[in-house]
Every structure is written in structure tokens, then in C-alpha cells.
């Protein structure tokens, strides 16, 4: 039974190019299916989340991370009576605009664009992918997704102001997005805050004692696992603690969102949109734990000495190829060369690089710039 404040498909503001309804799939189910069948979605398999394949081939990549976010999001959405298919479509599309090499790649691409007076933002890039770059249909460019999925792509992690992004004014920038979109940034954090502890520990970069000392919530669950399973090996107790941590965040998000919806007197999607603040949130206590996990991972994993060579290698590969193609636009593939007639060269090169997988960009770097920067990748 959907909640009265769910974003029901029959309330959708529709698609840019009107299409006949499908006989047995709702518009949000079709959007989810369109994302799954997109080329950009398949490329997530070969894009770094935190660790490149050099470490292990059983660590998360951006595709398996995306599937974890979708799983967590579906569970929470169902409990809140939200539109599960819309939540799933938004979860599956949420990282589609990420360039190769995770945050190092994004940082390098953004820095390269800033030198040209512009910038790179993965959510805006995701919108360009689904609106323009995916070529699957005879009748239109892009995936022709519903308004709510496109809106969710740009608004899931933050509100965008009209002054900052005048080109996005069609997306009701003075209103909150539906709860289905508000969830995604938080489920993304639940997924990676736990998964990165797991992979960081398996990679022997994070030590159990450091995690226990740095994250009191993890330590509490680890002690419970030790008391309950004194004989099992450390990793199994670690898994129990991590699972309990994930469960705590999920349950807290459900109960806190419920409470805030009740407190705000929200009874419809219009009420969700008109609310001055977002309704999807953690409690103060779990929010403190979330911030602790985030800063712990920043310090001990993302910016650790162990990952530094990969990071600088990734930045160098992206920067050198960006410079190579902006200086030689005639060596871009034909479709991108044509695009330079309509858009500045740096924007075209940025689009080309942002779409690449890790292996594709490494192959091009080796071919065009030599092997120097990619040795650590």
C-alpha cells in the first residue's frame, strides 16, 4: 500500500517526448529498465569505486556499489511506502556520470576544466548522458526518462539554486525533490561507509584495532560479536559488526524519516516538495556516527599513503590525455570531432574522458602519452 506522500507514476510530469503507455510496465519501471540497458550503465563495471583491480578482483567496483545502493534503497523505500521502482531507477543511475578512477579521476577532470573557466560535476554529466549521449531510440536522443528521474539525478545529493544553475530551471529548483530522490544520497553513504571499511580491511590498509579505536559504534558491535562467537576467526566477527552497523543506519533512516514526515504533517507529494527542509535524514546520534565513519575513511583510507601512488597516477593519466586532445582535437574520434563545431573543445574532451572506463583510458594513455603515469594502476 503506497504512502500518500509517495511519488506515484500516475502523478509523473512525464517525458520530454510523449510516448504511449506500456501495457504492463509503469513509467518508473520502464525508466529503471532503460537505465539497466544503457551503455553508460554497463561501463560502471570497469570504473573504480575506491580500489582499482590491481588490489583484488573481488572488491567493489562502481557497478557492484550501485547494486548495493539499489538493494538498500529498495528496502528502505518499501518500509516507508514509497515508490520502489522510482527509487530503484534513481539508485541504478546515481553514479552513471562518474569518470574513470573514482574521485581522483573526477578531481583531475574538474581541475582541467577549471583551467578553461568551467568545471566538471558528475551529476550534471549524468544528466547529459541520459538526455543526449545515449543513442538507443529512433525517435529521440537520450533515454527520454521521466521528469522525476531526471530531477532526481541532479537533486539527489543537494539542492541546486536557480542562480547557480539557470539552465536547470525546469527542475523546480525552489522545491525539495520527492522522498524517493532524497533517500539516494543517504543510502549511497550507508553503502560505501560500510563497504569501504570491508574492502579497506581486506586490502590490509585498515587495521582492526584502528577501526575499533576510531569508530565507537563499530567497536560496540564487534564486542557483541566476540561475546556471541568467541571461537570464529576475526573476519567473521568483523562481518557481523559491519552488518549490524549497516542495519543500524538503515533502521535509523526509516524511523527518523517517518518521524519527520509525521512532525511536518506531510500528507502528499506536494507537501514533500513544499517542505523547507529534506525529510529523509538520520537521527542526531547516527548522524554523528556517519560523520565519524566518513572522516575515518578519508584519513585512513582515501588519503592514505597506500593509495597515494594510484591516486597520483590516475590524476596524471586524466590530465595528460585532457591536454593531449585539447591541443589536438583533430585526433578525437569522428563523433566527438563533429561536436567541436557546436561546443568548446575542452567540453567535448571532458565528455569523451568522463565516459571512459579505467581500462579504456589506460589503453589510450599508453598509446598516446607513453606508460609513465599509469604504472601504479
| CB under 8 A, 24+ apart: contacts of 374-377 | 374/313, 374/316, 374/317, 375/313, 376/54, 376/309, 376/310, 376/312, 376/313, 377/52, 377/54, 377/101, 377/310, 377/313, 377/314, 377/317
CB 157 within 8 A of CB 179: no
Report which DSSP code applies to 2. -
Q: Which residue has the cell 520502489?
A: 84
Report which DSSP code applies to 375. T
Figure out which of the listed residues 83, 106, 148, 188 binds Mg ion, where binding follows CB under 5 A.
188
Q: Which stretch binds Mg ion (CB under 5 A): 23-31, 89-97, 145-153, 313-321?
A: 89-97
Check residue 196 for interaction with Mg ion (CB under 5 A). no
Please report how close the Cβ of residue 34 comes to Mg ion at its closest, in angstroms.
19
Between 70 and 362, CB nearer to Mg ion: 70
Between 73 and 374, CB nearer to Mg ion: 73
Between 190 and 261, CB nearer to Mg ion: 190
Q: What single string gives the DSSP state of each residue in 6-75?
A: S--GGG---BSS--PPPSS--HHHHHHHHHHTSHHHHHGGGSBSSS-TTT-TTS-BHHHHHHHHHHHHHH
Check residue 95 for interaction with Mg ion (CB under 5 A). yes
Q: Which stretch binds Mg ion (CB under 5 A): 87-95, 142-150, 221-229, 303-311?
A: 87-95
State which of positions 43-82 bind Mg ion (CB under 5 A): none
Instruction: Using CB positions, name the residue nearest to Mg ion.
Output: 188
CB-neighbour burial class of residue 201 (10 A; exposed 0-12, middle 13-18, buried 19+): buried
Check residue 88 for interaction with Mg ion (CB under 5 A). no
Between 60 and 311, CB nearer to Mg ion: 60
Q: Which stretch binds Mg ion (CB under 5 A): 94-102, 240-248, 262-270, 306-314?
A: 94-102
Please report how close the Cβ of residue 212 comes to Mg ion at its closest, in angstroms.
26
Question: What count of Cα atoms within 13 Å lies in the side-chain half-sphere of residue 37?
Answer: 12
User: How crowded is residue 169: how many other Cβ atoms within 10 Å of its Cβ?
Assistant: 11
Whole-angstrom Cα distance, residue 236 to residue 15? 48
Between 188 and 315, CB nearer to Mg ion: 188
Check residue 106 for interaction with Mg ion (CB under 5 A). no
Q: Which stretch binds Mg ion (CB under 5 A): 161-169, 180-188, 244-252, 331-339?
A: 180-188
Please report how close the Cβ of residue 103 comes to Mg ion at its closest, in angstroms.
11
Please report how close the Cβ of residue 192 comes to Mg ion at its closest, in angstroms.
6
At CA 124, angle to CA 120 and CA 130, rounded to 5?
130
CB-neighbour burial class of residue 162 (10 A; exposed 0-12, middle 13-18, buried 19+): exposed
Whole-angstrom Cα distance, residue 33 to residue 27? 10
Between 6 and 253, CB nearer to Mg ion: 253
Whole-angstrom Cα distance, residue 37 to residue 33? 6
Please report how close the Cβ of residue 42 comes to Mg ion at its closest, in angstroms.
17
Please report how close the Cβ of residue 109 comes to Mg ion at its closest, in angstroms.
17
Between 134 and 188, CB nearer to Mg ion: 188
At CA 29, angle to CA 18 and CA 142, rounded to 5?
50
Between 110 and 210, CB nearer to Mg ion: 110
Between 59 and 336, CB nearer to Mg ion: 59
Check residue 320 for interaction with Mg ion (CB under 5 A). no
- The backbone torsions φ and ψ at residue 61, rounded to the nearest 5 degrees and listed phi first, read -115, -175
Please report how close the Cβ of residue 271 comes to Mg ion at its closest, in angstroms.
28
Size of the site for Mg ion (CB under 5 A): 2
Q: Which residue has the cell 515508490?
A: 83
Please report how close the Cβ of residue 83 comes to Mg ion at its closest, in angstroms.
20
What track of x and - describes contact with Mg ion for positions 129 through 168 (by CB under 5 A)? Answer: ----------------------------------------
Q: Which stretch binds Mg ion (CB under 5 A): 32-40, 159-167, 185-193, 215-223?
A: 185-193
The contact set with Mg ion (CB under 5 A) reads 95, 188
Amino acid at each position: 500500500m503506497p504512502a500518500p506522500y509517495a511519488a506515484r507514476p500516475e502523478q509523473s510530469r512525464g517525458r520530454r517526448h510523449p510516448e504511449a503507455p506500456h501495457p504492463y510496465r509503469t513509467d518508473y519501471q520502464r525508466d529503471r529498465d532503460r537505465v539497466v540497458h544503457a551503455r553508460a550503465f554497463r561501463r560502471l563495471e570497469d570504473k573504480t569505486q575506491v580500489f582499482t583491480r590491481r588490489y583484488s578482483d573481488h572488491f567493489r567496483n562502481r557497478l557492484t556499489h550501485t547494486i548495493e545502493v539499489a538493494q538498500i534503497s529498495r528496502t528502505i523505500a518499501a518500509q516507508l511506502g514509497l515508490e520502489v521502482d522510482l527509487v530503484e531507477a534513481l539508485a541504478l543511475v546515481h553514479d552513471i556520470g562518474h569518470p574513470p578512477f573514482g574521485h581522483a579521476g573526477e578531481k583531475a577532470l574538474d581541475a582541467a576544466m577549471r583551467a578553461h573557466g568551467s568545471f566538471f560535476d558528475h551529476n550534471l554529466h549524468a544528466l547529459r548522458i541520459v538526455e543526449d549521449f545515449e543513442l538507443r531510440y529512433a525517435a529521440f536522443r537520450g533515454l527520454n526518462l521521466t521528469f522525476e528521474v531526471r530531477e532526481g539525478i541532479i537533486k539527489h545529493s543537494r539542492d541546486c539554486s536557480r542562480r547557480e544553475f539557470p539552465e536547470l530551471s525546469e527542475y523546480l529548483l525552489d522545491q525539495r525533490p520527492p522522498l524517493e530522490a532524497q533517500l539516494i544520497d543517504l543510502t549511497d553513504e550507508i553503502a560505501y561507509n560500510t563497504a569501504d571499511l570491508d574492502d579497506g580491511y581486506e586490502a590490509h590498509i585498515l587495521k582492526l584495532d584502528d577501526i575499533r579505536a576510531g569508530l565507537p559504534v563499530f567497536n560496540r558491535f564487534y564486542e557483541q560479536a566476540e561475546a556471541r562467537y568467541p571461537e570464529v576467526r576475526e573476519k567473521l566477527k568483523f562481518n557481523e559488526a559491519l552488518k549490524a552497523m549497516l542495519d543500524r543506519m538503515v533502521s535509523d533512516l526509516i524511523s527518523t524519516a517517518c518521524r519527520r514526515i509525521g512532525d511536518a504533517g506531510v500528507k502528499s507529494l506536494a507537501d514533500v516538495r513544499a517542505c523547507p527542509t529534506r525529510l529523509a535524514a538520520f537521527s542526531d546520534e547516527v548522524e554523528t556516527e556517519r560523520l565519524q565513519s566518513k572522516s575515518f575513511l578519508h584519513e585512513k583510507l582515501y588519503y592514505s599513503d597506500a593509495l597515494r601512488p594510484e591516486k597520483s597516477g590516475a590524476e596524471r593519466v586524466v590530465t595528460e590525455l585532457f591536454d593531449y586532445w585539447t591541443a589536438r582535437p583533430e585526433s578525437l574520434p569522428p563523433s566527438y570531432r563533429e561536436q567541436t563545431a557546436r561546443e568548446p573543445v575542452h567540453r567535448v574532451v571532458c565528455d569523451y574522458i568522463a565516459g571512459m572506463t579505467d581500462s579504456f583510458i589506460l589503453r589510450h594513455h599508453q598509446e598516446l602519452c607513453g606508460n609513465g603515469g599509469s604504472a601504479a594502476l
